[in-house]
Amino acid sequence: MTPLELSQALFDQLSVLVERRRGEGAEFDGEISVTDVVLERPRNRDHGDWASNVAMRFAKRLGVNPRDFATELAEGIRSVDGIADVEVAGPGFINIRLEAAAAGALAKTIVEAGADYGRSDSLAGPRINVEFVSANPTGPLHIGHTRWAALGDSISRVLRAAGADVANEYYINDAGNQMDTFGRSVLAAAKGEPTPEGGYPGSYIADLAARVLEREPRLLELDDDVALHTAREIAYELQLAEIEASLDRFNVHFDVWASERALQQPGPDGLSAVDTAVERLRAQGHVFDDDDAVWVRTTDFGDDKDRVIRRGNGVYTYFAADAAYYLDKGDRGFDHKIYLLGADHHGYVHRLRALAGAAGDDPEKDIEILIGQLVSVNGAKLSKRAGNIIELDDLQAWLGTDALRYTLARYPADSPLTIDPEILRRRTNDNPVFYVQYVHARTSGVARNALAAGVDRSVFAPELLEHETESALLGALQEFPRIVAQAAELREPHRVARYLEEVAGLYHRWYDTCRVIPLGDEPVGDVHRTRLWLNDATGVVIRNGLDLLGVSAPERM
């Protein structure tokens, strides 16, 4: 019996009792649904497999005593197939114990579901755009981008697992002064000149300059303006390709690479998306003119001040590009926009929310802004290429993709994080990613050895899974769909990582107690075959959970 089936059984009985009370004259307001029935795993397993406070939640609305109402609910579900016992505790808690066969049946359900176990349609409906990383294409990705790459991709993965229609998007800031500075830096390196004032340092600029010269050997013979343009454009193309390759090696892929330049390019009518953004916002009634400038009244939506979108000299502000980009996302059919921003972008929160409101959207529903905190690595060396940063590529080569991705997804985005590379490089249980991956490798090893010993899954007798470690492991495996749905709803993939560590601990305790492969001359029995189902079910959950974090599930370690 799954938690959903148990919730449905409680809901069915709740519905009967509510209708009965209504027939007796109770003034019950509102409707009820199965989502109103919340199940929890008791901390003390002596209290049963599941507990619910549903009686206390509804007793007051029905004008009845909570404990008496709980007793009625308990009596109504006691005869449901798969329920061994129901008790009422305290002021009205309902504690439910499942029959061993009903609890154990989950192992077969998980194995047969395979990669689909844990998935749901709980967030099906609106199209969601998740924008993250979005580093300027003027240098390599650094450690801050690394954290957002891991978190952003994992958030998208859990959203998809919950049924959401999601697109990963990278916004390329390929317009503005930083691109000209980038071009001047590359051109200076090509000429053998020092880095210009305010330019980009680091040997990666010299590397780019050498590659630009390979692409355009006549670069230094061109007129200054043409040479600058050529150096900038070729270096931009090369650097963006490096960024994409770094992310690809990090197991992060984007569905959309959106260019700021594209928003500034004139359309058939001669107007760019930035040009039309002003008038589109004006049509919503939140644009006004003052001191020859055009303003957006963002204070209508909680911003600390109104924002200039076009200066008196006709030059657009950065806010204009933000506005055009936000509108463009809506034009492409995205109902909900999630922005993942770095710790230095707190000032953007009110601005973007206000922008959503000015565009006619609901700032509380249609836009979501997550701010990440800083991350550091003990003992990490600054990049030899970039000079003043710790590069993603260096971290990956040092610590490995799996260790980095798991660790960065293991903590909430809003918590500062210091990574201890000594722990991540150990092949011991105090290394969380090794601890979890080793369980998957062990389940795979058990399956291989079972096959060699003549143990297969030809028999499934779930009533034989009655040991306390089996009950605890099955109880945790039942939780996986709920954990995934919750991680998606709250945008917190770290819940999946912490859950996997809990499952790993329960599996190790089960493995140490309950044998899948008979000892010595002991014949293969149905209990061994059934335990193989539980072993393989654990492997499925670990594998599915690691995939949501972009981490591999090795079969041997």
* Spatial contact of 501 and 407, defined as CB atoms under 8 Å apart: no
Tell me the C-alpha distance between 379 and 98, whole Å: 51
Domains contained in the chain, CATH given: 3-98 (3.30.1360.70), 132-140+149-256+376-425 (3.40.50.620), 265-372 (no CATH), 426-548 (1.10.730.10)
Question: Chain centroid to CA 250: how far?
Answer: 15
Taking only the tens place, the pLDDT of each residue in 199-208 is 998 899 999 9
Give the amino acid at 417: L
Q: Which two tokens stand for residue 297?
A: 């009244």
Is the pTM value of this prediction over 0.85? yes
Phi then psi for 71, rounded to 5 degrees?
A: -65, -40
pLDDT at 380: 74
* Spatial contact of 355 and 326, defined as CB atoms under 8 Å apart: yes
pLDDT at 347: 76
Give strand pairing partners of 417.
375
Tell me which residues of the chain have a pLDDT lower than 50. Answer: none
Question: Residue 479: which of 85, 82, 49 has the closest Cα?
Answer: 49
pLDDT at 384: 57
Query: Positive or negative CA dihedral for 117, 511, 516, 41?
Result: negative
Give strand pairing partners of 87.
95
Measured CA to CA in angstroms, residue 57 lies from 28, 37, 52, 98 at distances of: 13, 9, 10, 23
Residue written as tokens 């300027």? 136
pLDDT at 179: 96
Residue written as tokens 């409707």? 31
pLDDT at 103: 85
pLDDT at 383: 60
Tell me the C-alpha distance between 261 and 247, whole Å: 22
